[in-house]
């Protein structure tokens, strides 16, 4: 297929969109085999990263800072039969070659409901009040697929009409619209609603969404500054925001951020002299390095005149950032003492805006020997994980641990509660497991729970899930423990505004009877008018 990525790079007085385009094109070519890109610009430019450069003959946004009035022209200017339209201030984080196998079957596919830095769907944001008031579909122009087809042509013809007659549109069609100039998202949403009012042709792929790095979308409100608090950074080629590795296309939005991210990449050269205590050996002293994280170093040799560098060295470094004195007591509040706690950072540090991403505490380490041993053991564990097949698993996994003690005031007894869970998502499949335990002081009453679930999104309309839940109730000495076992399966199917959900649960046993059985089936039909 003749396919590729297209976006506009129309410079204004504040932003060099050509430079942002180089960053985007580089990220595409880093992760994708099918990586042809076309840049539509208002100035002649040449760069090996761009396969095609289209220069606008006429600027419909002349005299305006934002050149959005030109974006309907993408259909006529794209050199590809199959096109994914982007925005210049984006970055790719992983391979998307497989997208084309599904996208080419459709005339056009929109991206609905962006994601925040935690990869949570954001369906209603403060930036889209105009969409709510006018019941517009929540589409984003920053990620849009179309192929050369009559339907796609009709869509962009509608976009052109809306843009060129914007004054009438905002006054006669849209409710409470005060935008002096049309924004592409609003134009796309209105054109989509006009073309497909019943959403008969709506394609809403879960994977065809991007991460939108805006203040309110990330839940920062007005309390924190988004990019200072979440501290976007790169470790090798991986992009992290708020400590979460990003696996979607990232719309970083803040045009100045891309330079800051490049400056936060944990790589570089430490200019340290080699100490040669004996023949054939060399020690590298990097004690002055205060950055923690993945570091890359080149080994350079010089005779005082010529220098040759090579032999890249890569390793995770810890930073002994500080020693804190901590007061602590036992569970009764007595036997208090003081000890020094050694705080080590694996990524980031206390002086970063986001404080740290990973913090390790070496409790009561005394002496250089203990600290060296701690360094060695921790680094060995990290490197073992990074270099193993489990690294990819961890990237898609979520873990949690909860501990609590419930003290009953009347009797003074204590119930210790523990829960631990793990969840892993890969493509359309999500699997999770949870173990919980209530340990009571009384002779009986302990409760152990084991739960596991598996879900599979067959497509954007059909999903299937299975779950199992086992509970064990401890009895007094001489009495057999009782247990219950529940299996459930659910199927959900949506058709536009209608959805059908069918769920069946079968249970056996409970806290008082091993012969107890129950079978429940629920059918749910919902209609959206």
On whether the CB atoms of residues 54 and 261 are closer than 8 A, the answer is no
Half-sphere exposure at residue 523, Cβ-oriented, CA atoms within 13 angstroms? 0
d(CA 509, CA 489): 19
The string of pLDDT tens digits covering residues 78-131 is 999 999 999 999 999 999 999 999 999 999 999 999 999 999 988 777 888 899
The predicted structure's pLDDT at residue 255: 83
62-82: average pLDDT: 92
Q: Which domains does the chain have, with CATH numbers?
A: 3-210 (3.90.550), 267-389 (no CATH), 397-527 (2.40.160.10)
pLDDT in tens, 341-390: 666 655 544 444 333 445 555 555 666 677 677 767 766 666 665 565 55
DSSP string, 471-525: EEE---TTS--EEEEEEEEEEEEEETTEEEEEEEEEEE--SS-SS-EEEEEEEEE
Condensed to tens digits (0 to 9), the pLDDT of residues 210-241 reads 999 998 898 887 777 888 888 888 776 788 88
CA distance 391 to 382: 10
pLDDT of residue 354: 36
Taking the C-alpha atoms of residue 147 and residue 423, their distance in angstroms, rounded to an integer, is 37
Q: How confident is the model at residue 271 (pLDDT cuts 50, 70, 90)?
A: low
> Are 66 and 89 a contacting pair, CB within 8 Å?
no
Assess contact for 470 and 449: CB atoms under 8 A: yes
Tell me the pairing of strands 482-495 and 462-473: antiparallel
Report how far residue 349's alpha carbon sits from residue 152's, in angstroms, rounded to the nearest whole number.
50
Distance CA 5, CA 215 (A): 27
What is the per-residue pLDDT for 311?
A: 63
pLDDT of 190 strictly over 70:
yes
Task: Note the pLDDT of residue 269.
Answer: 44
Percent of the chain with pLDDT over 70: 73
Of 61-70, 136-145, 243-252, 419-428, which gets the smallest average pLDDT?
419-428
Which residues make Cβ contacts (< 8 Å) with residue 502, sequence separation at least 6?
490, 491, 492, 521, 522, 523, 524
**Mean of all residue pLDDT scores within the chain:** 81
pLDDT at 28: 95
More confident position, 147 or 444: 147
pLDDT at 525 over 80: yes
Please provide the size of the chain in residues: 529
Q: Using CA atoms, how far apart are residues 434 and 461, in angstroms rounded to an integer? A: 28
At 279, list the tokens. 């023949």
Structure tokens at 81: 């039969």
C-alpha span between 309 and 302 (Å, rounded):
9
Task: Evaluate if residue 264 carries a pLDDT over 80.
Answer: no
* Rounded Cα gap, residues 165 and 380, in angstroms: 64
Query: Which residue stretches of 280-352 are H helix?
Result: none
521 or 339: which leads in pLDDT = 521
- Quote the pLDDT of residue 191: 97
Tens-digit pLDDT profile for residues 440-475: 776 667 888 999 999 998 877 888 999 999 988 887
pLDDT at 409 over 50: no
Helix 150-164 with 184-195: angle, nearest 10 deg: 130
Burial degree of 494 (CB within 10 A; 0-12, 13-18, 19+): middle
Taking the model in full, what pTM does it have? 0.54
Q: Going by C-beta distance under 8 Å and a sequence separation of 6 or more, which residues neighbour residue 69?
A: 60, 61, 163, 181, 182
pLDDT at 340 over 70: no
CA distance 149 to 81: 9
CA-nearest of 24, 31, 29 to 7 is 24
Residue 318's pLDDT is 62
Calculate the alpha carbon distances from 490 to 434, 484, 501 in Å: 19, 20, 7
* Closest of 7, 3, 164 to residue 77, by C-alpha: 7
Half-sphere exposure for 229 (CA within 13 Å, toward CB): 14
């Amino acid at each position: 297929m003749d396919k590729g990525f297209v976006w506009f790079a129309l410079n204004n007085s504040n932003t060099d969109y050509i430079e942002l385009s180089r960053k985007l094109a580089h990220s595409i070519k880093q992760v994708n085999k099918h990586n042809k890109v076309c840049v539509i610009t208002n100035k002649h430019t040449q760069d090996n990263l761009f396969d095609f450069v289209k220069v606008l003959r006429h600027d419909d946004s002349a005299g305006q800072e934002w050149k959005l009035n030109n974006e309907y022209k993408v259909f006529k200017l794209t050199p590809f039969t199959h096109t994914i339209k982007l925005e210049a201030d984006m970055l790719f984080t992983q391979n998307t070659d497989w997208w084309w196998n599904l996208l080419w079957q459709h005339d056009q596919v929109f991206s609905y409901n962006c994601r925040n830095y935690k990869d949570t769907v954001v369906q209603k944001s403060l930036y889209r009040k105009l969409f709510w008031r006018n019941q517009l579909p929540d589409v984003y122009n920053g990620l849009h697929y179309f192929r050369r087809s009559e339907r796609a042509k009709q869509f962009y013809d509608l976009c052109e009409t809306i843009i060129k007659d914007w004054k009438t549109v905002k006054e006669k069609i849209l409710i409470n619209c005060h935008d002096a100039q049309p924004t592409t998202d609003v134009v796309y949403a209105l054109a989509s609603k006009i073309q497909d009012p019943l959403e008969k042709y709506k394609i809403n792929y879960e994977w065809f969404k991007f991460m939108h790095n805006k203040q309110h979308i990330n839940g920062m409100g007005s309390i924190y500054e988004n990019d200072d608090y979440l501290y976007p950074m790169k470790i090798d080629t991986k992009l992290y925001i708020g400590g979460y590795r990003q696996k979607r296309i990232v719309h970083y939005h803040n045009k100045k951020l891309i330079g800051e991210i490049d400056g936060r990449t944990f790589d570089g050269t430490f200019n340290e002299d080699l100490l040669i205590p004996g023949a054939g050996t060399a020690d590298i002293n990097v004690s002055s390095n205060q950055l923690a994280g993945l570091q890359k170093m080149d080994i350079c040799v010089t005779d005082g005149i010529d220098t040759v560098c090579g032999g890249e060295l890569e390793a995770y470094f810890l930073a002994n950032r500080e020693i804190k004195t901590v007061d602590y007591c036992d569970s009764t509040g007595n036997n208090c003492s003081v000890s020094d706690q050694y705080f080590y950072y694996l990524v980031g540090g206390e002086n970063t805006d986001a404080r740290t991403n990973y913090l390790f505490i070496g409790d009561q380490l005394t002496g250089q020997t203990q600290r060296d041993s701690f360094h060695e053991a921790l680094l060995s564990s990290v490197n073992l994980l990074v270099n193993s097949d489990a690294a990819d698993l961890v990237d898609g996994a979520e873990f949690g641990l909860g501990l609590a003690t419930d003290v009953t005031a009347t009797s003074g007894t204590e119930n210790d509660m523990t829960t631990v869970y793990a969840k892993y998502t890969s493509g359309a499949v999500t699997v999770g497991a949870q173990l919980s335990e209530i340990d009571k002081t009384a002779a009986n009453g302990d409760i152990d729970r084991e739960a596991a679930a598996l879900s599979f999104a067959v497509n954007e309309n059909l999903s299937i899930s299975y779950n199992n839940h086992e509970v064990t109730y401890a009895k007094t000495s001489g009495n057999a423990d009782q247990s219950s076992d529940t299996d459930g399966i659910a199927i959900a199917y949506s058709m536009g505004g209608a959805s059908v959900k069918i769920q069946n649960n079968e249970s056996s046993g409970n806290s008082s009877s091993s012969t107890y059985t129950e079978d429940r089936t629920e059918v749910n039909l919902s209609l959206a008018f």
